[in-house]
Amino acid sequence: MHYQKFYPASHLKPFVECYFVWESGASLIQPVSVESPPTGYGSMVFNYGDRYRLRTQKHEDLIAPAVFLSGQATSNYQLHLQGHIGMIGIVFRAAGLSSLFGLPMYEFTDERIDLTAVLGSEVRTLHERLSEPNEPTGRVRLLEEYLSRRLSRTQAVIDRTDYVADLIVEHRGNVNINALMDELYVCRRQFERKFLHKVGVSPKYYARIRRVGFVCAQLAGNRWNVKDWHEFIYRAGYYDQSHFIREFSAFTGRSPSQYVRNNAELAHFLKS
Q: Is the pLDDT of residue 100 over 60?
A: yes
pTM: 0.91
* Contact assessment for residue 1 and residue 22, using Cβ atoms and an 8 Å cutoff: yes
Both 36 and 130 in one domain: the answer is: yes
Choosing from 133, 154, 175, the residue where a domain stops is: 154
* Contact assessment for residue 73 and residue 110, using Cβ atoms and an 8 Å cutoff: yes
Residue 64 and residue 78: Cα distance in Å, rounded?
A: 12
Both 14 and 144 in one domain: the answer is: yes
Choosing from 89, 121, 154, the residue where a domain stops is: 154
Residue 152 and residue 265: Cα distance in Å, rounded?
A: 37
Both 144 and 221 in one domain: the answer is: no
Residue 128 and residue 49: Cα distance in Å, rounded?
A: 12
Both 109 and 79 in one domain: the answer is: yes
The CATH number that applies at residue 169 is 1.10.10.60
How many domains would you assign to the chain? 2
Residue 272, pLDDT score:
41
The CATH number that applies at residue 143 is 2.60.120.10
225-234 residue pLDDT tens: 556 677 778 8
Task: Name the residue range of residue 248's domain.
Answer: 160-269
Three-class secondary structure of residue 216 per DSSP? helix
Write the DSSP assignment of 115-170 as a string of letters. Answer: HHHHHTHHHHHHHHHHHSS--HHHHHHHHHHHHHHHHHHH-----HHHHHHHHHHH
Residues 137-159, mean pLDDT to the nearest whole number: 96
Both 102 and 235 in one domain: the answer is: no
Residue 168 and residue 248: Cα distance in Å, rounded?
A: 18
Both 117 and 200 in one domain: the answer is: no
13-33 residue pLDDT tens: 999 999 999 999 889 888 888
Both 41 and 148 in one domain: the answer is: yes
Both 120 and 165 in one domain: the answer is: no
Residue 72 and residue 194: Cα distance in Å, rounded?
A: 15
Both 8 and 38 in one domain: the answer is: yes
Residue 228 DSSP class: G
Three-class secondary structure of residue 8 per DSSP? coil
Choosing from 103, 133, 154, the residue where a domain stops is: 154
